[in-house]
């Protein structure tokens, strides 16, 4: 439990007579990039607000850095950084003035403050815009400034709400790389709220999929993209005449759960990951002329759509 | 609640409000007009310079401050609605009391300065015709009002800001300011004969009201309420 930086147990929240969150349970271990995925209205933002101590759950318990976010001490709250969907920067003020306010709030000493602000603006490539009003910034620049603002006090966990929404492709890649760098180089645990499947698939190591205030699925990304722990391999051969021999061989192997020949390749499902080596050896021993072997992964999009559709199907029934 | 937090919030609010350059200039000049020309036009009918000054301090000093603070609050509301920074500020370690006091302090400073300048002008205007041979100062009650009015003003601004946080707009504040205004002024309806303890009583009652209401308002204010109203 000590390794978990966030613990959410049996959380429910009703707003306006409507259950926004129903019995939510999950943990976020230290150092991960954790993603909450769900369509609009799934309860992601309410959950984030609960984690930031802005609203209280009706039932259940939430712990961030081992503390209840509502009654958290100032020192513990200094361990939390966040960027909400609205950026939280005032467009009337300059980049420096915006960050300086938050640096003061987080108790950075006056003599260290300026150097730290300059360092953070440099980190997000905004050094040249220190004295420019934020109103003149593009969306991507505002998002980078918000990240600099959120990191000014060296938090241990960073909450990001839709970090790349409405950004151009260049801005999206920049923010994505910055998030990965923060996680890998500085060891910051990152919690991302998103409905961008591609973004989540690329950067998150663990995810929760939510719908209508319920958790539909959760787990490590690698496990979720390999249902039932199965491994699927795409095997291409040097000679197409060798396919009947391969089919005969595959029919005899107990660790092959299913296979099909399609578009000049064999798609082979193995019972588990460790059977891969056995398969390679068996193919070599039987002189199957292999051209290429690729491991097939399910995409997060397939998984997400299947969950959302399945739920809709149940609702209709 | 830390003093540094209040100062940080106040500094930010000062920067934001003064950044609305045109609106700020217009309301600053408007307050100056209200505090000097209008007050002089009404108090010039009073022959005794001390009663003139007392009358100014009892009624026009506070009027200028209140009008200016309310106009500044509208800039604050405008900024609050446009920038959508409140949720971010609420999620920091700042307490609600620090945010309230910091925001109120900024408006207090900006609305007190023009009123104070007007008071100096009125003081000169009362003394200049006498040739500055012997300076005329306000009466003791006038002095008390001079020192109480900033405190009353701060209380009114706190109440104003609280309503902004509760209701997310400034209509409520207009009603509250008007009620306090009536409470103070009703007691001094016959001001031409000079101010007395009844006016002072009105001020004290006003003070009690705003601070009690502010205290109750702050006690029941929750971050959740503000966030869900945004």
* CATH 3.30.70.920 domain range(s) in chain A: 228-296
Least reliable range by pLDDT among A123-127, A259-263, B23-27, B65-69: B65-69
Q: Would you state the pLDDT for residue B170?
A: 52
Interchain contact, B223 vs A55, CB within 8 Å: yes
Whether the pLDDT of residue A73 is over 60: the answer is: yes
Shortest CA gap A99–chain B (Å): 11
Between A177-181, A204-208, B155-159, the lowest mean confidence (pLDDT) is in B155-159
d(CA A25, CA A8) in angstroms, rounded, equals: 5
Residues A224-260 as b or e (16 or more Cβ within 10 Å = b):
bbbeeeebbbebebeeeebbeebeebbeebebbbebe
In CATH, the architecture of A228-296 is 2-Layer Sandwich (3.30)
What is the count of structural domains for chain B?
Answer: 1
pLDDT at A145: 93
| Contacts B4 to A, Cβ<8 Å | 104, 107
Residue that the structure tokens 């107990």 belong to: A254
Contacts of A93 in chain B (CB under 8 A): 12, 15-16, 19
Looking at residue A257, its pLDDT comes to 85
User: How many Å lie between the alpha carbon of B151 and the closest alpha carbon of chain A?
Assistant: 26
Q: Which residue has the higher pLDDT, A157 or B70?
A: A157
Q: What is the pLDDT of residue A274?
A: 80
pLDDT for A79 equals 93
**Topology of the domain comprising A4-224:** Rossmann fold (3.40.50)
Lowest mean pLDDT among A51-65, A187-201, A221-235: A221-235
Residues of B with Cβ-Cβ distance to A49 under 8 angstroms: 227
Residues of chain B falling short of pLDDT 70: 132, 167-195, 230
Instruction: Report pLDDT for B29.
Output: 85
| Inter-chain CB proximity B87 and A82 less than 8 Å | no
In chain A, what percentage of residues exceed pLDDT 90?
Answer: 45
Segment A53-57 shows an average pLDDT of 94
**pLDDT tens per residue across span A218-257:** 988 878 776 656 678 888 888 888 888 899 999 999 888 8
**For B96, nearest residue in chain A (alpha carbons):** A54
Q: Is the ipTM of this complex over 0.95?
A: no
Q: Would an 8 Å CB–CB cutoff place B45 in contact with chain A?
A: no
Backbone angles phi, psi at A28, to 5 degrees: -120, 110
User: Cβ separation of B5 and A106 shorter than 8 Å?
Assistant: no
Q: Over chain A, what is the mean pLDDT?
A: 88
Q: Does B90 touch chain A (CB under 8 A)?
A: yes
Query: Tell me, what's the pLDDT at B15?
Result: 93
| Domain residue limits at B87 | 3-229
Q: Which SS3 state, helix, strand or coil, does residue A205 take?
A: coil
Q: Which residue of B has its CA nearest to A109?
A: B4
pTM for the whole structure:
0.82
pLDDT at A1: 47
Of B112, B102, B108, residue with least CA distance to B12:
B102
Residue limits of CATH 3.40.50.300 in chain A = 4-224
Give me the residues paired with residue A94 across strands. A133
- Which among A165, A164, A183 is positioned nearest to A174, based on CA atoms? A164
**What span, in angstroms and rounded, lies between the C-alpha atoms of A158 and A144?**
14
Cβ–Cβ of A78/B223 closer than 8 Å?
no
pLDDT tops 70 at residue A310: no
Partner A contacted by B14 (CB < 8 A): no
pLDDT of residue B187: 47
Whether the per-residue pLDDT at A205 is higher than 60: the answer is: yes
SS3 letters across chain B: CCHHHHHHHHHHHHHHHHHCHHHHHHHHHHHHHHHHHHHHHHHCCCCCHHHHHHHHHHHHHHHHHHHHHHHHHHHHHHHHHHHCCHHHHHCCCCCHHHHHHHHHHHHHHHHHHHHHHHHHHHHHHHHHHHCCCCCCCCCHHHHHHHHHHHHHHHHHHHHHHHHHHHHCCCHHHHHHHHHHHHHHHHCCCCHHHCCCHHHHHHHHHHHHHHHHHHHHHHHHCCHHHHHHHC
Q: Is the pLDDT of residue A174 over 50?
A: yes
Q: What is the pLDDT of residues A5-48, one digit of tens each?
A: 999 999 999 998 889 999 999 999 999 999 999 888 889 999 99
Query: Which two tokens mark A33?
Result: 């990039």
């Amino acid at each position: 439990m000590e390794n978990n930086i966030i613990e959410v147990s049996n959380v429910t929240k009703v707003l306006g007579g409507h259950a926004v969150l129903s019995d939510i349970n999950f943990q976020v271990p230290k150092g991960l990039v954790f993603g909450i995925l769900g369509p609009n209205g799934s309860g992601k933002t309410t959950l984030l607000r609960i984690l930031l101590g802005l609203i209280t759950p009706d039932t259940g318990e939430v712990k961030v850095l081992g503390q209840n976010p509502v009654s958290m001490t100032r020192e513990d709250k200094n361990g939390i950084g966040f960027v909400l969907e609205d950026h939280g920067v005032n467009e009337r003020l300059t980049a420096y003035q915006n960050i300086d306010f938050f640096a003061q709030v987080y108790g950075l000493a006056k003599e260290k403050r300026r150097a730290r602000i300059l360092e953070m603006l440099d980190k997000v490539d905004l050094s040249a815009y220190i004295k420019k009003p934020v109103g003149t910034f593009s969306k991507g620049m505002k998002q980078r400034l918000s990240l600099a603002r959120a990191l000014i006090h060296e938090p241990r966990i960073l909450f990001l709400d839709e970090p790349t929404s409405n950004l151009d492709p260049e801005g999206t890649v920049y923010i994505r790389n910055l998030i990965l760098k923060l996680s890998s180089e500085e060891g910051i645990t990152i919690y991302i709220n998103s409905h961008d499947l591609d973004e989540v698939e690329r950067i998150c190591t663990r995810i929760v999929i939510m719908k209508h205030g319920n958790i539909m699925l959760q787990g490590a990304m690698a496990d979720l993209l390999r249902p039932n722990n199965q491994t699927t391999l795409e095997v291409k051969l040097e000679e197409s005449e060798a396919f009947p021999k391969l089919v005969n061989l595959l029919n005899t192997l107990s660790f092959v759960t299913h296979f099909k020949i399609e578009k000049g390749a064999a798609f082979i499902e193995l019972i588990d990951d460790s059977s891969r080596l056995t398969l390679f050896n068996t193919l070599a021993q039987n002189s199957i002329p292999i051209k290429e072997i690729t491991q097939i992964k399910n995409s997060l999009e397939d998984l997400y759509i299947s969950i959302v559709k399945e739920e809709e199907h149940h609702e209709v029934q | 609640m830390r003093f540094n937090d209040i100062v940080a919030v106040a500094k930010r609010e000062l920067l934001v409000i003064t950044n609305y350059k045109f609106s700020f200039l217009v309301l600053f000049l408007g307050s100056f007009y209200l505090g000097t020309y209008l007050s002089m036009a009404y108090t010039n009918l009073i022959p005794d310079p001390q009663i003139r000054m007392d009358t100014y301090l009892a009624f026009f000093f506070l009027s200028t401050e209140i009008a200016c603070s309310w106009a500044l609050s509208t800039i604050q509301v405008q900024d609050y609605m446009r920038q959508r920074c409140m949720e971010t500020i609420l999620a920091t370690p700042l307490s609600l009391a620090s945010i309230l006091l910091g925001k109120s302090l900024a408006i207090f400073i900006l609305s007190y300065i023009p009123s104070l300048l007007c008071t100096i002008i009125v003081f000169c205007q009362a003394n200049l015709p006498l040739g500055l041979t012997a300076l005329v100062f306000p009466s003791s009650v006038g002095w008390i009002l001079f020192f109480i009015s900033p405190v009353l003003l701060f209380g009114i601004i706190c109440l104003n800001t609280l309503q902004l946080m509760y209701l997310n707009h400034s209509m409520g504040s207009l009603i509250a300011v008007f009620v306090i205004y009536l409470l103070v002024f009703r007691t001094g309806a016959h001001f031409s004969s000079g101010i007395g303890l009844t006016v002072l009583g009105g001020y004290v009652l006003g003070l009690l009201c705003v601070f009690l209401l502010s205290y109750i308002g702050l006690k029941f204010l929750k971050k959740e309420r503000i966030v869900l109203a945004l």
